[in-house]
Amino acid sequence: MQMFNLFMKPLNLFRKARNRPLIDKIHSEIMAGARQPVFFVEYGVADTVAGRFEILSLVATIALRRMSALPEPGPAVAQEVTDSLFQHFDIALREIGVGDVTVPKRMKKMASGYMGRSAAYLAALSDHEAGKSDALPLAIGRNVYGGEGRASDARTQRLARYALSYAASLDGLSVEALLAGQLPVLDAQTVS
């Protein structure tokens, strides 16, 4: 459960990344993966701040899971990317007009929500690998689509197939490719 340890460390939002260009590139790839319009048009993810947070949580968890499983410096890079994501959450809250006094409370709530979702997705991916095929659609239905009964919904099933395909596309990611900033982005349009 090394991935979960990423979130258990205190967030230091002002720590300087060791390799800012690499971290920025990987962060951008994760964001590009999560911002695909098809998620909001065809998959039925709500095109709201909450909906975007949900899809980003799913995409980031899958990418960070693979990075954390790599030999060093994979886990260190994953931690820096996690820190970068939370720095951008802070910036985004301020840009939408959340006041300075309220930002820390909202950040704490977002971190808690992200950690919970991440833990659920990691457990579901492990369950899937162990042959329990309904775990991921249940987690996605509950978190992304907001309901327990959504696991059989076609959109939930499609998003689960996307998540599994994305995880599989990252299986071949090497430390060398990661350090070159070559994090694949799976075109969600190709998953039916």
Task: Name residues whose C-beta falls within 8 Å of residue 151's C-beta, 6 or more positions apart in sequence.
Answer: 134, 137, 138, 140, 141, 157
Please check whether residue 121 is in contact with residue 137, taking contact to mean a CB–CB distance below 8 angstroms. no
Amino acid at 84: S
- Confidence bin at 37 (pLDDT 50/70/90): very high
Neighbours of 103 (CB within 10 A): 15
**The length of the chain, given as a count of residues:** 192
pTM of the predicted structure, to 2 decimals: 0.86
pLDDT value, residue 9: 45
Question: Which of the 8 DSSP states describes residue 185?
Answer: -
What's the sign of the alpha-carbon dihedral 156, 149, 138, 57? positive
What's the sign of the alpha-carbon dihedral 11, 92, 117, 107? positive
- Confidence bin at 151 (pLDDT 50/70/90): low
pLDDT value, residue 147: 75
- Confidence bin at 15 (pLDDT 50/70/90): very low
pLDDT digits (tens, 9 = 90+) for 40-98: 999 999 999 889 999 999 999 999 999 999 999 999 999 999 999 999 888 887 887 87
Dmax over CA atoms of the chain, in Å, equals 46
Mean pLDDT across 120-129: 94
pLDDT value, residue 106: 84
pLDDT value, residue 1: 46
Mean pLDDT across 123-146: 91
Please check whether residue 107 is in contact with residue 93, taking contact to mean a CB–CB distance below 8 angstroms. yes
- Confidence bin at 134 (pLDDT 50/70/90): confident
Please check whether residue 140 is in contact with residue 166, taking contact to mean a CB–CB distance below 8 angstroms. no
Question: What are the extents of the domains in the chain?
Answer: 2-9+17-190
Out of 6-20, 24-38, 75-89, 92-106, which region has the weakest mean confidence (pLDDT)? 6-20
* pLDDT of 3 above 70: no
Amino acid at 80: E
Residue that wins the pLDDT comparison between 169 and 134: 169
pLDDT value, residue 148: 62
